[in-house]
Each structure stands twice: as C-alpha cells, then as structure tokens.
Amino acid sequence: MAQLIDGKQLSDQVLQEVASEVELLKGKYDIVPTLAVVLVGEDPASQVYVRNKVKRATEAGMGSIEHRLDAETSQNTLNALIDHLNNDPEVHGILVQLPLPSHLNEDEVIASIHPAKDVDGFHPLNVGALASGRPSLVPCTPQGCMIMLRQVHPDLSGKNVVVVGRSNIVGKPMAALLLQANCTVTIAHSRTRNIESLCRNADIVVAAVGRAEFINADWIKPGATVIDVGINAIDVNGKRKLVGDVDFESVARVAGAITPVPGGVGPMTIGCLLLNTTRAARRQLA
C-alpha cells in the first residue's frame, strides 16, 4: 500500500505559518492581511469552496470580504467592483471565483486585477514571471502540489514527471514549477498518443484532467508518486461522493505515494491561497 500524503495535515502546517506571519504583520506594521473573494452566480460547489476559504482565513487571523453578485451581473459592474478592490488599501488579495457565467469575459477580468493583488497568480504578468523562472505570486494548486511532492522527494532533480492536463490554472503552471525544480517534464492531454505508456515511465504523475477516476493502476510504474488534483462529485447509489482523477483503490496498490481525495490537494490549495495573501500584503507595505 502506498504512503498517503496527507493534505489536511500539511495544510494545517501551512496555515500555522500563515497565522504567525499574520501576527507579525499586525504587530509590526499594523496591517491585517485581507482577502476579497468575488463570487458571481450561485454554483453550489463554488459556494462550499468560498465558505471554506473564508473560514480558514478567519482562523488564521486574516480579514476576508465576500462579494456575491447575481448571475446576470454585467461586465461593467464586475469591472467597477474590481477597480474598487484594486484601489482599496485594506484589501491585499483579490480572488474572482472561476468559472464565470458565460456572458462574462474571464480573460478581461483576470487582466483587470492588480498584479500585486492577484493571489491566484493568473494575471498575465504573474504568468510571464513564472514562465521565465522569476516566480512571484504562484497559482495555489500547483504550489500546493509542489509542497506535497517535496514530502516524498526533497530533491526533484532529474525526475521524469508526466502532468496530465494542460489548463492555465493547473497543468501549465505545474509544469513550469517542476521544470524550475529540474524535473524532466511531459505535458499530456487529450490528443497525446500512448498516454498510458508515457505515464507508466514516469517517476511522478500529476493528474489534472477533471475526469473521475480516469487513471488506473495499469498507467502507474510500481513505486511512483501520484498527485491527484481532480475533485469530481459522482453519484454512488444516490449518494454524492468526491473522487479524484485517479482510481485511488487500484493505484494505491502500485504507487509508492499518493494523495487522497478529499483531504489531499484541495486543502493545500486553500493553504497556499492564504499564504499568497500574506505575501501580497507584505509586498504592499509602502
């Protein structure tokens, strides 16, 4: 049975670091690091997630502000809100929950967030900084995955890694971070040929495809490390169950180490979001 990489426990460690940084920023500079979360529409999964973020922020002694806008909100209204948050000195981080309703332009929204407050790390300036090896605000999920990987591989140099999925939110920034850690990185996606045998050669597989239990034990080299980014809600006998992109049951029998879902990458994403918020706050000190 593979070693379990406990995201809940690791994220508690990250949140403790966040809490002491918050203490320091309060005591020394009299600022309360504050995250503004913007949610457009009422997707129930998004609401759970937003509630979790606000809860953890409060526990870490941070400030948080929630802006809920209805699903029909116009681009102009959203732009005006972001403009207001960009210029509010008491807001250090801005997160606009994605995906947005289809009438809104996500790229425009992301580009309108001040790069210094872009705690998701999605602004083109932050994307460019990461791509050219000068990371500043790094996307939370890949950042959390790196912390988990370091538990098993303190030195990642020379490891063969396959990242399955090429999204701007996970796959691409994940590959950039791994490359910076001197891994040999392959990005696989829906058009990739022989994806199974590619994965079977990897020391590390990062699964970020958004398909429930897509990757099974045949894809995994015995002893390899598997990071499961997927969070998919499936129906099992009328009950809602969360599963990853990895068939945990079978893969855990061949892998050397694996992250669970829930309790894996998800909590680490939230930990890193709050870590980014303290970093953003520190950089905004006059």
Ligand X SMILES: Nc1nc(=O)c2c([nH]1)NC[C@@H]1CN(c3ccc(C(=O)N[C@@H](CCC(=O)O)C(=O)O)cc3)C=[N+]21
Residues serving a catalytic function are: 53, 97, 120
* 266 lies in the site for ligand X, by CB under 6 A: yes
Residue 223, Cβ density class (10 Å: 0-12 exposed, 13-18 middle, ≥19 buried):
exposed
Binding residue (CB under 5 A) for Mg ion from 84, 103, 189, 241: 189
* 174 lies in the site for Mg ion, by CB under 5 A: no
* 241 lies in the site for Mg ion, by CB under 5 A: no
Nearest residue (CB) to ligand X, 37 versus 224: 37
Determine contact, residues 146/181, Cβ cutoff 8 Å. Answer: yes
Which of 85, 65, 88 lies closest to 77 in space, CA to CA? 85
Per-residue burial over 65-89, b if 16 or more Cβ lie within 10 Å, else e, is bebebeeebeeeebeebbeebbeee
Amino acid at 145: C
Query: Which of the choices Mg ion, ligand X, none does residue 189 contact, using the CB cut-off of 5 to 8 A by kind?
Result: Mg ion
* 214 lies in the site for ligand X, by CB under 6 A: no
Q: Maximum distance among all alpha carbons in the chain?
A: 56
Which of 139, 92, 129, 141 lies closest to 113 in space, CA to CA? 92
Determine contact, residues 206/194, Cβ cutoff 8 Å. Answer: no
* 225 lies in the site for ligand X, by CB under 6 A: no
Residues 5-64 that bind ligand X (CB under 6 A): 48-49, 52
Binding track, positions 123-162, relative to ligand X; x by CB under 6 A: -----------------x----------------------
* Shortest distance, position 140 Cβ to ligand X, whole Å: 5
The span from the CA of 110 to the CA of 168, in Å, is 12
Q: Which residue positions form the known binding site?
A: 165-167, 231
| Binding interface with Mg ion (CB under 5 A) | 165, 189-190
| Binding interface with ligand X (CB under 6 A) | 48-49, 52, 95-98, 120, 140, 231, 242, 261-263, 266-267, 269-270
Q: Which residue positions form the known binding site for NADP(+)?
A: 165-167, 231
